Amino acid sequence: MLDSLATSEVVHTLQRAAQVIRWLPDPEPPPLAAPPVGRLRVGVDLGTAYLVLVVLDESGQPLAGEYQFAQVVRDGLVVDFVGAVDRLRGMKARVERRLGRELTHAASGYPPGVPLPEVRAVANVLESAGLRCTALVDEPTAANALLGVQTGAIVDVGGGTTGIAILQDGKVVYTADEATGGTHFSLVIAGAQGIEFEEAEALKTNPDEQSRLFPLVRPVMEKVASITARHVHASGVLVESLTLVGGTCAYPGMAQVVEQYTGIPAQVPLHPAFVTPLGFALHDEATI
Ligand SMILES: Nc1ncnc2c1ncn2[C@@H]1O[C@H](COP(=O)(O)OP(=O)(O)OP(=O)(O)O)[C@@H](O)[C@H]1O
Ligand SMILES: [Mg+2]
């Protein structure tokens, strides 16, 4: 597995995703020179902290996408249906403008353990935004469509939660989800510095501030590591590698802290926030 992350294909896909997925406050990129031909695959990730829409071409390479900060979904539960539909519709329209082609379908998913009626709400958001929902998969299965882990654990540290998935022979055999994520990093920073949450969030994601703030967030990283260690133990699987995904794992030092605490080699792919959204897109099986 440790080799798979380094495969040039995964690295290339994530690099390309970071180039073409626009962060909403950035200026809108120009349209493609010509609309793409062939089958498109679309992934929508309704996360606690970010909404992501990504479009892949026939060969699985990212063509365009968008992500924006939004608090319309919490840990897989749609808490603001109208807001979620509204934002997704806007993302779809802007990405269509860039592509010069209509998007008609998409795949999405849910954190493991979310009750079925709530999962249906995710599909309803897509359908109401004009996207036929072709597949709903659990997040670690989606992430692994890109990563290709055979035996090991995928730890997804998003905005709200840490999701653990243990894989054997490429299949998810154990999952758990606990309430520690990037929001807690920001809360710790806000408390220690006596600042508002939004300011702490901006400091936390500023590469120039991250080494200064490291001692503050280290205990939260250790909490992620302790959750991981507990579930690895509970699964009874011999886990020899951890792959850390989700936006929070972009914080430098995360892999080292988790590795030291658990004693299991850990690594973070390039642009870890895009792994799950790309995995959703890889599950979009529509034929047009
Ligand atoms: N460079 C960075 N350094 C540290 N944290 C980051 C960085 N980039 C993003 N984050 C944090 O990652 C979190 C968002 O990650 P992600 O997009 O994976 O979450 P999500 O899918 O919206 O949430 P969840 O999976 O919990 O529903 C936020 O807390 C954000 O502040
Ligand atoms: Mg997520």
Does 253 lie in the same domain as 161?
Answer: yes
Minimum-distance ligand 1 atom for the alpha carbon of 201: 31
Q: Verify that 169 and 126 share a domain, yes or no.
A: no
Q: Specify the pLDDT at position 113.
A: 84
Q: Is 279 in the pocket of ligand 1 (CB under 6 A)?
A: no
Do 259 and 152 sit in the same domain of this protein?
Answer: yes
**Ligand that comes closest to the CA of residue 187:** 1
Work out the pLDDT band at 76, boundaries 50, 70, 90: confident
Q: Looking at the structure, do residues 154 and 196 belong to the same domain, yes or no?
A: yes
The residue range of the domain holding 93 is 2-138+274-282
Task: Please check whether residue 44 lies inside any domain of the structure.
Answer: yes
Phi-psi region of 230 (alpha: psi -120 to 50; beta: other; left: phi over 0): alpha
29 and 58 part of one domain: yes
Q: Is 184 in the pocket of ligand 1 (CB under 6 A)?
A: no
Average pLDDT over the chain reads 94
Are both 52 and 30 inside the same structural domain?
yes
Tell me the pLDDT tens digit for each residue of 137-163.
Answer: 999 999 999 999 999 999 999 999 999
Q: Which ligand lies nearest to the CA atom of residue 48 in the structure?
A: 1
pLDDT band at 288 (very low <50, low <70, confident <90, very high): low
Q: What is the DSSP string of 183-241?
A: HHHHHHHHHHHT--HHHHHHHHT-TTTHHHHHHHHHHHHHHHHHHHHHHHHHHT-----
Q: Which ligand is nearest to the CA of 52?
A: 1
> Into how many domains does the chain fold?
2
Q: What is the pTM of this model?
A: 0.95
2 pLDDT exceeds 70?
A: no
Residue 288 lies in a domain: no
Does any ligand 1 atom lie closer than 6 A to the CB of residue 162?
no
d(CA 217, CA 226): 14
Residues 132, 157, single domain; the answer is: no
The string of pLDDT tens digits covering residues 226-241 is: 999 999 999 999 999 9
250 pocket-lining for ligand 1 (C-beta < 6 Å): yes
- What order do you get walking across the sheet with 105-110 strand by strand? 21-23, 62-69, 50-56, 41-46, 105-110, 132-138
User: 256 and 170, same structural domain?
Assistant: yes
Residues 149 and 262 in one domain: yes
**CATH number of the domain bearing residue 151:** 3.30.420.40
In angstroms, the CA 53 to CA 6 distance is: 25
Same domain, 25 and 45: yes
| Cα radius of gyration (the chain) | 18
> Closest ligand 1 atom to the C-alpha of 272?
18
Q: Are residues 33 and 126 in the same domain?
A: yes
pLDDT band at residue 75 using 50, 70 and 90 as cut-offs: confident
pLDDT value at position 63?
97
